[in-house]
Structures are given as C-alpha cells and as structure tokens.
Homo-oligomer: A and B are copies of this chain.
C-alpha cells in the first residue's frame, strides 16, 4: 500500500478495535471506546479485552485475531507490558494501523527505550503504521471520529494540529470549542515511534480540506525530511510551530567558535526560516495563530490599517506593529475622501483611523469598507474598546456583513470582558479572528506577512547555484589523512588547502621551525607580519596567547617567536606543537566570521556573523541550512547587524557583498560534499570593497 493510502485509511477507518476497552469510565481504554461508540461516527467499533463480556453493550473479543471483520485501525490502551504482544497480534491479523496510547516507553528509562525500539521494529518489519506511544490518540472531526481519550471531538475545520504534548491537545480543544475554531485533524503524536511530523505534513499537503498546520514540537528526528515536507506545504498554506526546549544545552559543548555561536535553537530557527514555517514564541502565541488560521486570508504585504475608537490602544498598536517589522499603511487619497464624508469631523484623517469614543457601527463599517478597497492596505484591525456608547455587537455585525471582507485579513480586538462579549461572539461565529488586546492580532498579521514574504523570495532562495568545480578529491584526501592520523581538528596550512580546493580565497601561511626562519620568511612576504601558533587539537589560539600581530621588523618577529613558543610549551605537550606560522598582515576594513555546523537534526548549517569574539559577545550571527545559493547567502547576511556596516555605513564604501555571497555559497558546499566535516571556522574572514579573504580557518572532523 502507498504511504498516502495507508495514512488515509489510518485517519478514515471504517472498523476500529479498541484493545483495553472496558466499562470503567475513568480508564483510558474505556474513555476511548465510549468516545467512539457514543458519537455520530458512522463506522463500527469493537472492544477487545481479556475478560469475556460486553462494553457499553457491545460483545468483547479476547484478541483481534478473533474478530472476523477486517479491522482498519487498532487502538491499544493496555498496560505497557502488554503493548508489544498486542501490536504483534494486530500486525499478524493484517491490521494496517495502530494508535498506542499507553505510556512507559521512550520516557521510561532503559527498559522503556528498549521496548520503544521493539515497537519500531514491529512497525517496520510488519508494515503496520503506528501513532504514539504515549499519546492521546487523534480526532478526525469531518467524520465525527474522536479516536482519543480527550472528552470531546473538536469542531470540523481547516487546521491540522499536531502536538507532542497531550496536555496541549486538551487545552487547545477546550479553547477551540469556546472560540468556534475547527480542525481537519487533531493529532497527539506522542513519542513518535513511527508516524512523524514530516510524514503527516506530506499527507496533509495532499488533503484539500487542510488549510494550515499548527505544531507543538519537542523533538524532531528526521530534519531533512521535515524541511522538504514543510517547504512544500508552506508554498500554499502556512505552518506555525511552537518549539519547546529552546534553552537546551548544546551551545556549551561546541568545539569551535561557530559551534558556540550557533546553539541548537538558532539552527531550528534557521530551519523554520528555510521552509517558511512561522515560529510561535509562547503557548498563547500558538493559540492566537489558531484563531487567525481558522479562516485566514493571505496578506499581500505588511501594511496594516488600524480602526479604533480610542487613541491609546491605537498608539500602542502602531508601536507594536512598527517595532516588529510591519508598516502602518498610508491611506490612499480616495479612502480619506470617503471617510471625510461619513466620519465625525474630528476623525484622525490618517492611520490609525480614530472613529473617536462615540464611533458608531456605521463609522466602523464605512472605515472597514474603505480600507478593504484601498490597495495601500494589506490587512485591517478593528479595535473596539468599551466606551460609554460603544455597541460592540452592532459594530461586529456591520464589519462581519461586509461582502468584501474576504479580500483581506481582518482582525478584531475587542478590549474588555462582559461589555464587549456581544461583539466577540459575532466575530467568533463569523470566523473573524478576535483578540482581547490589539498586540496579539498585530503579531498574527505580521506572522502571515512574513510567511508570504518568504514565499515571494523562495524562487530565488532555492534557485540552482552557479556551477563551480571544486577539487573535491583533494579535499577528501586531506580529511582522510587527518582521520588516519587521529586528528579531530584540521588547522593551519591543511585547513587553507581544503578551502582552496573549494576556490575560497585564503591568506597563505608559511611554517617556521625557529625564530631565524620566521624572520626570513617575514622578509620575503613583507612586513608587517603575524605569527600564529600551530598545534594539534588547538581550538582557541588567543586563549594560549598564541597569536602575535603587526610585527614590523625582524627583531620583533624573533622576540615574538620565542615568547609564543615558551608559553606554548608551558601549556601543551611538546609533540602537539607543530610550530609557528608566518603570514603577511592583511588590512581589510571588516573582519567577520563564517562557519559550518553540522546539526544532529538538520545536517550542515552555515553560520555568518560579526568578527571574532563579537559574534559571541553581541550574539550577532545568523544561521542557514546548507547548501545555499548566492541569493540565500545574501539573505543570511542580511539577518545580521554587521551587514549594515558591510553595506556601507555613514559614507564608507560598501564591502564586496557579491564576493562574500559567493564565498558563503561555495563554503556551504563543503560539508554537503564531505560529510565527515563536523564544523568549520573561517575566522577571521577579512573583507573590504575589493573582496573577501580567509585569514585563518579550522575544520573539525567527525571521529568516524
């Protein structure tokens, strides 16, 4: 069976067996059986347990093997100890899919982990698809199927919700019933033994009833597959994700600057940017997006019109909008003219459109109608604060009844509780997103606008890169040699050689074994020069005072050589010291850092940031998934603050941005071609108007 058909049957079963079903109300199996049995679900549900009898009047079977009808879906709600046997039985009985709600696996110590692996083994070898373990189950509201132990079925609608937290499923369900938000699928994905995020996203992409996806994610195991699936989905429909564990360790243990700069969370953000996933920051945020996505329209840009009956909330909203990358739409002349005709004479005449404290439903209607027709406006937010004469219900009705409302995203911010309850209810029923404070609406508008912006760029972002022919063989050979000699870090000449294989400009260095030789080399390259300690497994030279810059004459060179060596011998084993290299000082205006970090989830990422320690100190670095083309490289650079300097700040000449982009694009190919590469630091990467050149580099390679 094709994967798609399998999942189709999984989510649309005709006959379901609930293993562990019982009449005990509070048992998980009992709750699931009752949820299905007592609903409008048109299919059949069969209880399976090892005591003879009936559940809710339906005859039980001791095993799925005893059931003659062909079961489409098994829901396993037995104690953990029985799960493996039951799953095996299901597979032998030819059941194509199973939900394992039982816990006691991945989260439950070594024994649990072992049994988790066994679930995976059974799923793989016998071809039975498994959701869970340790999940609530799922719901398919379209067919009134609540195959979970959540107490109600969500309303039908367009949002597919996938959550790694069952509690978040329960919470969102409860909120959504109040807010009239509908779901195409509601999936508690659990510990992900088999069916994962990527596969579900792929499946939902083929389902026209799905208009968007909301994710709560704690872990991801197949990053590249997720990237592809999410990118494909986001071409047409948005995904919003709350990623937990943002503060997890990872950055601390890194073996290079690049690694230290790019914590796991930065890579997750880069991955989400890569495919156009909107990232939510908090639980509220994620749910706020559910309101917006319920019946969303795509904004053409980030220009918002704000209609308000109060100055303060208008100011606050405008602040929030512009601080977060949006624009206050400039009203077109015809809009102002239309509004002059109907608004109170003291109306603001600009955006925010202040209809004043006694603004009537007709004022709101006129303002909204004018904004819907104004091409300078990409979205509209109506703020309704509970003033003396405010008729929140009638205002909501007037806005909701505008036929043109389908043209643009429209948001309501009904501030207050009881006094605006009427308006809130009208918007909920009309499917217009409604919030209690304006900033929440603005945040959701901006999220959609960023998704659309990303989409507009995506053709260029993913265009094929300029072809170039690196000397992959030679680079691979240097890496092989390092691995054979058990070096985990390639630095010095070898590192530069690898860069040169990929046509990346480097400042050459020359090894010197003693002070006299160093001085001789310096005379040849020309003063001033720099001396740098070269040693095995040496990562941060500055910590060992192994770098001396700007040496202007032979005497200085000799003295520095002696000092570096003396200090190195104090801290390193003699056999680890390779010598001291001499290089000409290169004076370029800007020093930046570029690097590669292989992420355990997403594979190689490329990092770009401000030079030296500044990247760490100021946190001015951005990451992108490798490989990237020159357009994507420029987009990566533009996410840093240092890019403002590089573009030419306060009358300075711009640096060679195209050269830099080419450098990054070529660099990003390295870890893709040579998977042994774990990390690369090009630090510093010097750049000015005439080009970019690597002044030092080190490459960390995997142990095996």
Chain A contacts to B: CB under 8 angstroms: 26, 28, 31, 107-108, 149-151, 163-168, 170-171, 174-175, 177-178, 216, 218, 242, 244-247, 282-284, 287, 309-313, 315-316, 318-320, 322-323, 346, 357, 385-389, 415-420, 436-440, 540, 542-544, 552, 610, 613-614, 617-620, 641-642, 644-645, 649-652
Q: Name the residue in A28, A163, A415, A651 with the highest tally of chain B Cβ atoms < 10 Å from its Cβ.
A: A415
Q: Find out whether the CB atom of A543 lies under 8 angstroms from the CB atom of B651.
A: yes
Q: Find out whether the CB atom of B167 lies under 8 angstroms from the CB atom of A415.
A: yes
Interface residue from B165, B316, B357 paired with A244 (Cβ < 8 Å): B316
Q: Find out whether the CB atom of A313 lies under 8 angstroms from the CB atom of B283.
A: yes
Interface residue from B309, B322, B323, B652 paired with A167 (Cβ < 8 Å): B309
Interface residue from B31, B107, B540, B645 paired with A617 (Cβ < 8 Å): B645
Q: Find out whether the CB atom of B320 lies under 8 angstroms from the CB atom of A282.
A: yes
* Given A167-B311, A167-B312, A247-B319, 10 further pairs, Cβ under 8 A: A163-B312, A166-B312, A174-B386, A218-B312, A218-B315, A284-B439, A614-B618, A617-B642, A617-B649, A618-B642
Decide: A244 near B319, CB < 8 A? Known: A618-B641, A641-B618.
yes
- What are the residues of chain B within 8 A of A174 when measuring CB–CB? 386, 415-420
Decide: A284 near B437, CB < 8 A? Known: A167-B415, A319-B244.
yes
Q: Find out whether the CB atom of B417 lies under 8 angstroms from the CB atom of A175.
A: yes
Q: Name the residue in A26, A318, A417, A618 with the highest tally of chain B Cβ atoms < 10 Å from its Cβ.
A: A618
The 28 listed contacts between A and B (C-beta, < 8 Å) are A26-B389, A107-B311, A108-B346, A150-B388, A166-B357, A167-B310, A167-B415, A168-B310, A168-B415, A170-B415, A171-B415, A174-B418, A174-B419, A178-B417, A244-B312, A247-B318, A282-B439, A283-B415, A283-B437, A542-B650, A542-B652, A543-B650, A552-B552, A613-B645, A613-B649, A613-B650, A617-B649, A618-B620
Give the complex CA separation of A242 and B315 in angstroms.
12
Give the complex CA separation of A613 and B643 in angstroms.
12
Give the complex CA separation of A645 and B617 in angstroms.
7
Q: Find out whether the CB atom of B312 lies under 8 angstroms from the CB atom of A385.
A: no
Q: Find out whether the CB atom of B388 lies under 8 angstroms from the CB atom of A28.
A: yes
Q: Name the residue in A166, A318, A440 with the highest tally of chain B Cβ atoms < 10 Å from its Cβ.
A: A166
How far does the Cβ of A134 sit from chain B's closest Cβ, in whole Å?
10
How far does the Cβ of A285 sit from chain B's closest Cβ, in whole Å?
9
Give the complex CA separation of A369 and B418 in angstroms.
36
How far does the Cβ of A313 sit from chain B's closest Cβ, in whole Å?
6
Q: Find out whether the CB atom of B165 lies under 8 angstroms from the CB atom of A313.
A: yes
How far does the Cβ of A180 sit from chain B's closest Cβ, in whole Å?
12
Decide: A315 near B244, CB < 8 A? Known: A284-B439, A617-B644.
yes
Decide: A242 near B316, CB < 8 A? Known: A26-B388, A415-B171, A417-B178.
yes
Q: Find out whether the CB atom of B323 lies under 8 angstroms from the CB atom of A246.
A: yes
Give the complex CA separation of A652 and B544 in angstroms.
9
Give the complex CA separation of A538 and B644 in angstroms.
23
Decide: A168 near B645, CB < 8 A? Known: A174-B420, A418-B177, A437-B284.
no
Interface residue from B171, B315, B318, B651 paired with A385 (Cβ < 8 Å): B171
User: In chain B, what residue has the closest Cβ to A610?
Assistant: B618
Q: Find out whether the CB atom of A417 lies under 8 angstroms from the CB atom of B177.
A: yes
User: In chain B, what residue has the closest Cβ to A26?
Assistant: B389
Q: Find out whether the CB atom of A283 lies under 8 angstroms from the CB atom of B439.
A: yes
Give the complex CA separation of A274 and B216 in angstroms.
40
How far does the Cβ of A107 sit from chain B's closest Cβ, in whole Å?
8
How far does the Cβ of A316 sit from chain B's closest Cβ, in whole Å?
5
